[in-house]
């Protein structure tokens, strides 16, 4: 029974248990090494005899076991957060029968999202293909070989896959994204490549764990969280009882800094992070707003807008664009036709094949 596949190397569940009981196992694979070290930390020196006993140990002790994860630092300075195992497996679904699911993990090891995929797979004795860091140009080769059924990654990672995959993959039954704002246009486009796939959009963070689920870019607060989640001054706030580690707050509520916009009385969508804006020439601009404008231009497949520090302007707005039949001149001309403010037009536009400035699978605000 295969547990982990990375760089073409397979690791069985028997090998995992054997390595777990060794003092200094020799491990070359970075992803496998990370999760092996995590399990060693959680097992606290106990002898684990089987995968079944490991799973039961984690379930029995989920409220007292914890580990540390560093936040991504996409819009702020990274920080170390203590994560409760109970919060990490809050939504893990135990299957009564063997489903033989094969998970494609597009999150980097060490991220909160990767641990969720890890525990979901481990608890059901399923297989993980570690996709993070693959050469996207070889995507078809990887997908054809391993018959992946479930995919989990950021919208940016999904976009890069769709740009590079040339075949249709009916084996994919579920796609889960998180970590970034998801655009409905991207949800619609993946059906051409993954026609059998159901879509799940997750709102989660290292500080809170998984909180909200949706099948579109729109969310609503579930009944069980009515008293624990609230929208205040346009941002989502979370009661401290849901946090992995209590943050310093002025009251019982933690400000996620994630700005939302209501589409009706109950449904809302995430617009941006309130600290995810750039200052340029005295103006405060939203990279995601600029990305939406550029995505409307014919031929554009994806775009990454970010800032470069500048002593005169504060930040220079830059855009890396992936597409066909486009140029920086065409993009600037088309943006001008949309009658958008001058400060929203990037000063530097590059046509690229791959996004360079991506951290943990997410587009960086500043480089």
Q: Which residues contact 328 (CB under 8 A, 6 or more apart)?
A: 321, 349, 350, 351
The span from the first CA to the last CA of the chain, in angstroms, equals 42
The beta strand positions in 74-207, using DSSP E, are 80-84, 102-105, 127-130, 150-153, 174-177, 198-205
Q: Please report how the helices 328-337 and 287-295 are oriented relative to each other, as an axis angle in degrees rounded to 10.
A: 100
Distances (CA, A) of 339 to 186, 229, 343: 25, 38, 12
Helix or strand run (H / E) with residue 323: strand 314-323
* b/e map 92-127, b = 16+ CB within 10 Å: beeeeeeeebbbbbbbbbbbbbbbbbbbbbbbbbbb
pLDDT at 98: 65
Beta pairing partners, 67: 83
* Dihedral angle, C-alpha 352, 279, 78, 251, nearest 10 °: -140
pLDDT at 156: 87
pLDDT at 325: 92
Helix or strand run (H / E) with residue 19: helix 13-20
Q: Which residues contact 56 (CB under 8 A, 6 or more apart)?
A: none
Residue-wise pLDDT tens for the chain (367 aa)?
Answer: 899 999 999 999 999 999 999 988 888 889 999 999 999 999 988 899 999 999 999 999 999 999 988 876 555 566 788 888 988 887 788 776 666 899 999 999 988 889 999 999 999 999 999 999 899 999 999 999 999 999 999 888 998 999 899 999 999 999 999 887 777 778 878 889 999 999 999 998 878 878 899 998 899 999 999 999 999 999 999 998 888 765 556 678 988 888 898 999 899 988 876 666 788 877 888 888 899 899 999 999 999 999 998 877 788 999 999 999 999 999 999 998 888 888 889 999 999 998 887 766 778 777 7
pLDDT at 22: 92
Cα separation of 309 and 283, whole Å? 14
Phi, psi of 68 (to 5 degrees): -110, 140
pLDDT at 285: 86
Cα separation of 291 and 296, whole Å? 9
- pLDDT tens profile 146-158: 999 999 998 889 9
Look at residues 252, 224, 250 and name the one whose alpha carbon lies nearest to residue 238: 252
Sketch out the chain's domains with CATH numbers. 2-217 (3.40.50.12780), 219-274 (no CATH), 278-351 (3.30.300.30)
Cα separation of 177 and 217, whole Å? 10
Phi, psi of 191 (to 5 degrees): -65, -25
- pLDDT tens profile 323-348: 999 999 999 999 988 888 888 899 99
Residue 46 Cα to chain centre, angstroms: 32
pLDDT at 43: 93
- pLDDT tens profile 17-57: 999 999 888 888 899 999 999 999 999 888 999 999 999 99
What's the pTM value of the predicted model, to 2 decimals?
0.82
């Amino acid at each position: 029974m295969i547990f982990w596949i990375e760089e073409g190397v397979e690791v069985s569940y028997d090998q995992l248990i054997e390595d777990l009981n060794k003092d200094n196992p020799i491990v070359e694979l970075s992803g496998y090494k990370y999760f092996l070290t995590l399990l060693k930390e959680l097992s606290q020196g106990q002898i684990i005899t089987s995968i079944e006993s490991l799973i039961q140990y984690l379930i029995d002790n989920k409220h007292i076991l914890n580990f540390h994860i560093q936040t991504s630092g996409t819009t702020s300075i990274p920080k170390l957060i203590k994560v409760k195992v109970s919060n990490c497996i809050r939504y893990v679904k135990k299957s009564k029968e063997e489903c033989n699911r094969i998970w494609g993990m597009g999150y980097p090891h060490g991220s909160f999202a990767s641990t969720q995929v890890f525990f979901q797979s481990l608890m059901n004795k399923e297989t993980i293909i570690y996709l993070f860091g693959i050469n996207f140009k070889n995507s078809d080769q990887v997908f054809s070989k391993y018959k992946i059924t479930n995919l989990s990654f950021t919208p940016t990672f999904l976009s890069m896959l769709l740009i590079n995959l040339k075949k249709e993959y009916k084996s994919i039954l579920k796609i889960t994204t998180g970590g970034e704002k998801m655009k409905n246009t991207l949800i619609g486009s993946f059906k051409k490549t993954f026609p059998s796939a159901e879509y799940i959009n997750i709102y989660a963070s290292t500080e809170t764990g998984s909180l909200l689920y949706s099948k579109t870019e729109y969310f609503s607060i579930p009944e069980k969280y009515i008293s624990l989640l609230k929208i205040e001054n346009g941002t989502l706030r979370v009661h401290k009882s849901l946090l992995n580690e209590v943050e310093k707050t002025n009251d019982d509520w933690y400000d996620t800094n994630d700005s939302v916009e209501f589409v009706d009385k109950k449904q809302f969508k995430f617009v941006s992070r309130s600290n995810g804006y750039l200052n340029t020439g005295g103006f405060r601009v939203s990279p995601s707003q600029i990305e939406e404008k550029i995505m409307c231009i014919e031929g554009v497949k994806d775009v990454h807008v970010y800032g470069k520090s500048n002593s005169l302007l504060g930040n220079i707005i830059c855009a890396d664009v992936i597409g066909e039949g486009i140029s920086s001149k065409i993009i600037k001309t088309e943006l001008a036709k949309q009658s958008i403010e001058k400060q929203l037009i990037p000063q530097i536009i590059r046509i690229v094949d791959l996004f360079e400035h991506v951290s943990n699978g997410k587009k960086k605000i500043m480089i």
